[in-house]
Amino acid sequence: MDFMKMIADWGRVVARSVLVFHVVCAATGLATLLGVISVPYMLEPAPSGAALATAAFTGLLCLVALCALGGSVRYAVYGDFRLLPSRSFRAYFSGDDGEGDTSAYVSAALPQRTQRASDDDMIDQAGELMLTNPAKVMDVFDRLQGRQCTPPGEIAEELAPRIRALGLEEKCREFWEQGYTVLEDVASPEFLRELRAQAMAADPAGVHVLPKHPVFAQAALDEKLMAIAEFSVGAGFILSHMATTLKSKGDPDLGLHVDQTWMPAPFPEHNLMLTACWALDDYTAESGATTIVPGSAALRRYPTHEEIKSTPSEPILCKAGSVVLWDGRVWHGNGPRTIDGERAVVHVTYTRLAMRQMETYPRSVEDQMIERYGEPMAQLMGRYDYLAKPAGKEDIQGFMRAVAYARR
């Protein structure tokens, strides 16, 4: 709402003013320190050591006092104190410079939502009623809660036009029936070359790569992946994990498993997790391609120890530039690589909005990503619902939005 945006804007004005005042205090203190130290040289050409020590001590006291003045203003406004300002606004309020404090961080206003559905009018109504007639909010909640969920395997009414426009109807059917599907020629050769180069250059652990280069964010935000993710794990889905992996000759194979391995079985009928793998090299049996047991997602359980050893699986064969997507419940693994070279893959994992992510980023890093990529990234960061937020249910629109998303 405009009212809430106005409050957020004023909050950022105050926060920036606090930082500017703290920086001015520190700069004045530093100038005072240098000025006091120079005084003995102005009085005599070769000042004594005692005179220099006295001047330095006095100057340091002035520096500390002025920095403390700036920190005191921060404490008066936000209730936490730090002696020195940081080099940037985000670091000052997020603690990203290593001081660890986050209580004073002020997030940027979220991008205006453009992907609206029939229930968004009710969500907006709930936000307005909280200001004018709070007793009526429960009426909106009852209407949202009473809506029927989209059955497993069906495309939500709100999503269907996008799925048709992208030509993904058959892919969604295949994904539901087999537990996986393959999208071919998803991106340009130039994009794929850059994505592979960045994957090869990533940290050996291959995690937390999203903010490392724009090409990773673009891979996570691909419109076809986002559409199938919404079909698979529902509206308002979030990004759980993004990583790179390299497979070399001689690396061992990976036995059958499910990706949502920390969730109890039997798994629910609605899928909870979707993995999308950008194949940056050809997937062949010799290259160590992902192997899969088609239809195994319908079992809604883990493979037993015996099944891991004995169940036949088949390699997913596709060209470089394809994206392989599979259900979090499907049994899959990968085979050994028997040829020279390396197989590079970028994994993107999406989950339902109620799931905890496998990896998170500092609030300030999320804000930078949202500022650059807008509404879709804000959704992937889980910013439009109320879950895991300090305000909790006080964010009535975020609460209502989570209720609505869970039904589609």
Q: Can you tell me whether residue 180 is helix, strand or coil?
A: strand
φ/ψ (deg, to 5) at 240? -95, -35
Let me know: does 192 contact 279? Beta carbons within 8 Å.
no
Type of residue numbered 225: L
Type of residue numbered 66: L
Integer Cα distance of 186 and 225 in angstroms: 9
CATH of 148-360, one of 3.30.1360.70, 2.60.120.620, 2.30.30.100, 3.40.50.10420: 2.60.120.620
Q: Can you tell me whether residue 283 is helix, strand or coil?
A: strand
Integer Cα distance of 189 and 201 in angstroms: 18
Please give the full DSSP string across 52-115, using - where no structure is assigned.
HHHHHHHHHHHHHHHHHHHHHHHHHHHS---SS--SSHHHHHH-TTTT---TT--PPPPPPP--
90 CA to centre of own chain: 17
Q: Which segments of 151-270 does DSSP mark as H helices, in order?
A: 160-165, 169-178, 189-201, 214-220, 223-233
Token pair of 234, please?
């529902």
Integer Cα distance of 235 and 226 in angstroms: 10
Let me know: does 52 contact 60? Beta carbons within 8 Å.
no
Type of residue numbered 252: P
Please give the full DSSP string across 194-215, using - where no structure is assigned.
HHHHHHHHS-TT-BS-GGG-HH
Q: Give how far Cα 132 sits from Cα of 7, 126, 395, Å.
A: 17, 10, 15
Let me know: does 117 contact 58? Beta carbons within 8 Å.
no
Q: Can you tell me whether residue 22 is helix, strand or coil?
A: helix
pLDDT attached to residue 181: 97
Longest alpha-carbon distance in the chain: 91
Along the 408 residues of the chain, how does pLDDT read in single tens digits? 444 445 445 666 777 788 889 989 989 989 998 998 898 888 888 888 888 889 889 989 999 899 989 888 888 876 778 888 876 655 665 544 444 444 445 555 677 677 777 778 888 888 778 778 888 888 888 888 888 899 999 999 999 999 999 999 999 999 999 999 999 999 999 999 999 999 998 887 788 899 999 999 999 999 999 999 999 999 999 999 999 998 888 888 889 999 998 999 999 999 999 999 999 999 998 888 999 999 999 999 999 999 999 999 999 999 999 999 999 999 999 988 889 988 899 999 999 998 988 888 888 888 888 989 998 998 999 888 888 777 776 677 888 888 888 888
What's the residue count for the chain?
Answer: 408
Integer Cα distance of 111 and 214 in angstroms: 19
Let me know: does 337 contact 281? Beta carbons within 8 Å.
no
246 CA to centre of own chain: 23
Token pair of 340, please?
């020279």
